[in-house]
Amino acid sequence: MKLPLLFLFIAFTLEISAQPRHTVSLDASNAWQNAQSIYASPLHYSAWQWLTVAGVLSLTACSHAFDEPVRTFARAYQTPTLNALFSVSEFYGNPLGAGIIGGGVYLGGLSGRSASTRLTGRAVLESVLYASLLTQVLKMSIGRSRPYQNKGARDFNGLSWTNRQWSFPSGHTTIAFATSASLSARLKNPFATVGLFGLALLTTGHRLYDDQHWLSDTVLGAAIGTSIGLAIGKLINDEERHGGTLPPQTTQSIFSVQFPL
């Protein structure tokens, strides 16, 4: 797994060195402002947006009632066919896979001098990074035991430093939905949107099937990934419309973006 990442890093370094510094530095500056916009967005939520947050948390809480039954069902239907099917989604929800997808598109845009392609790659990278950071903080703060430890769906330990207790929310699901949402916002094609979110759902199924997560882990992970992916996609779209500079409004509320279907 480390070798492809090394090649990607070398290619990225060589490509950037051949580009005008202004393009890369502007991307870095705008990405930093987008990060501030995303994480500061709760300070500017309307009552309706807080109700949306409450709805997501309520849905997550309701899905908790089905954690054990869904796990029992997933463990009862382990077949070679499903093993092969879900192996495809492992790459899509993996941090390395997301880095290859986003980084590859970004490098393609740089080498081809295509601003639109470059910004699409940046949208993926930003969405995955910002969503993953939020998810990781929650994982470590909540400390929920993974299903394979057989401690039950209600085993929460608080602050934890071990991967065995980083079940809630699902990181792979977050990454998959962040990737799909950001690409959907950029492509604006209903067929692409259906296909991309189909891959994200496949990733969700894989995490349940592989006994790595509870259902409620994946519900919140999907919500985080989708909301941040759509928000970043909108910010990047606004940036493109303004010729590569950020518009005056620098705060993008996560839950105020229309679903691109």
Least confident among 38-47, 68-77, 168-177, 200-209: 38-47
In a domain, 261, yes or no: no
39-92, pLDDT tens digit by residue? 988 888 889 889 999 999 999 999 999 999 999 999 998 888 888 888 777 889
Domain span at residue 74 reads: 2-256
- Which residues make Cβ contacts (< 8 Å) with residue 54, sequence separation at least 6? none
Calculate the average pLDDT of the chain: 86
Question: Distance between CA 238 and CA 185 in Å, rounded?
Answer: 11
Q: According to the model, what pLDDT value does residue 112 have?
A: 86
Which of the 8 DSSP states describes residue 145?
A: P
93-146, pLDDT tens digit by residue? 899 999 999 999 998 998 888 899 999 999 999 999 999 999 999 999 999 999
Number of domain units in the chain: 1
Q: What angle do CA 94, 96, 101 make, to 5 degrees?
A: 95
Least confident among 31-35, 89-93, 190-194: 89-93
Which of the 8 DSSP states describes residue 156?
A: B
How many angstroms from the chain centroid is the CA of residue 192?
A: 17
Given a cut of 80, whether residue 8 has pLDDT beyond it is no
In a domain, 120, yes or no: yes
Least confident among 16-30, 37-51, 113-127, 148-162: 16-30
Given a cut of 80, whether residue 11 has pLDDT beyond it is no
Q: According to the model, what pLDDT value does residue 261 have?
A: 34
Burial of 151 (0-12, 13-18, 19+ CB in 10 A): middle
CB atoms within 10 A of CB 99: 20
Backbone angles phi, psi at 171, to 5 degrees: -70, -45
Q: Which residue's entry shows tokens 């070798």?
A: 3
% of the chain residues with pLDDT over 90: 65
In a domain, 110, yes or no: yes
Given a cut of 90, whether residue 153 has pLDDT beyond it is yes
Under 8 Å between Cβ of 183 and 196 = yes
Section 249-253 average pLDDT: 47
Under 8 Å between Cβ of 175 and 225 = yes
> In this structure, what CATH number is given to the domain that contains residue 33?
1.20.144
Under 8 Å between Cβ of 125 and 105 = no
Q: According to the model, what pLDDT value does residue 12 have?
A: 55
Under 8 Å between Cβ of 254 and 233 = no
